[in-house]
Amino acid sequence: MLFRSIVTDLLKSFLSHGGTLQTESKVIDIKNLKEIGNCVVTENDVFTGKKVVIAGGHFTNELLEEKASIKVLVSPLLIVYPAVSEKNFVRLTPFIEKSVNHILHEIGGRKYSVIGGGFFADPGNKSEVIKAEHDLLKMAKKVFPEYNSTKHSEVYFSHKTEIVSKHGERNYQYNIKDLGKNVYTVLPGKFSLGFSLAVNFYKKIMKEDPKRIRKFDINFPIKEFVGPMRHANIVANPLCQDTCPLSNLSIQT
């Protein structure tokens, strides 16, 4: 799935149908006032609306009174240039240390690898975070012989927000919660389940099925809002030297 293409289409559709996008405006509070309904209070403004949806990922806890059921984890991703494999693959096993996924990406003529595994940590536990990074590097060196001859490698952590399961294991299911007074929270779970979340959430709040075809202006200007992925920026950085200069910033995956 081309994540950047999906985000681009969603944003163009949203703006084409009258939506307003505001960035750099942290939400401070959400209040329900009898006179005007729901109010979203930001650092710079106050917005009102009939329905409010909190889709804040790992920031969700900051806006909720009930925080115990939401768990935030971080998982390491390894960026390696040049690419260590020409294939996209996933190896799943019951053993975390043996699970691996490899995605081949390209930016400006540079092919590079994004490598992940089953490693995760509590973001508030520094020793756990260091261990997760160390374990991922150890696994990558073992699985990919080409790793030792690469020019640049870097690890960054992505946040994963999920509802804590009863038995404590990872929970990849999406979650929709009605907080009352037309305020909802949504947690995406596994990325590939995000599409099911969107359809079922629409059904829940609108009491009808969404339209299967939605036309929008494909030329709607969104360049200022959608840029290269974080891993692409790492490879595009001048510190990541190469004899072949970057020709452009278009991403091909």
Q: How many angstroms separate the CA atoms of 22 and 180, rounded?
A: 25
Residues 6+ apart with CB under 8 A from 76: 116, 117, 119, 132, 133, 136, 155, 156, 157
What are the tokens at 204? 């829940």
**pLDDT category, 243, cuts 50, 70, 90?**
very low
What are the tokens at 87? 């294939």
Average pLDDT, integer, range 31-38: 87
Strand partners, 127: none
Whole-angstrom distance between the N-terminal and C-terminal Cα of the chain?
A: 9
β-strands 183-187, 52-54 pairing: parallel
Residues 6+ apart with CB under 8 A from 115: 77, 78, 79, 80, 84, 100, 101, 102, 136, 140, 144
Radius of gyration over every alpha carbon of the chain, rounded to an integer in angstroms: 21
Residue 166 is predicted with a pLDDT of 66
What are the tokens at 224? 């200022």
At residue 197, what is the residue type? L
DSSP code, position 209: P
Residue 247 is predicted with a pLDDT of 40
**pLDDT category, 123, cuts 50, 70, 90?**
very high
Nearest of 4, 20, 17 to residue 223 by alpha carbon = 4
Residue 241 is predicted with a pLDDT of 53
Give yes or no for residue 35 having a pLDDT over 80.
Answer: yes
Average pLDDT, integer, range 153-159: 91
Average pLDDT, integer, range 14-19: 89
Backbone φ and ψ for 66, nearest 5 degrees, come out as -90, 100
Give yes or no for residue 170 having a pLDDT over 60.
Answer: yes
Q: How many angstroms separate the CA atoms of 101 and 83, rounded?
A: 13
More confident residue, 245 or 31: 31
**pTM, entire model:** 0.78
Residue 204 is predicted with a pLDDT of 92
Average pLDDT, integer, range 139-155: 90
Average pLDDT, integer, range 233-242: 71
More confident residue, 105 or 163: 105
Residue 238 is predicted with a pLDDT of 61
Average pLDDT, integer, range 165-192: 82
Q: How many angstroms separate the CA atoms of 82 and 154, rounded?
A: 12
pLDDT tens digit string along 55-96? 988 888 888 766 547 888 899 999 999 999 999 999 988 887
Give yes or no for residue 25 having a pLDDT over 50.
Answer: yes
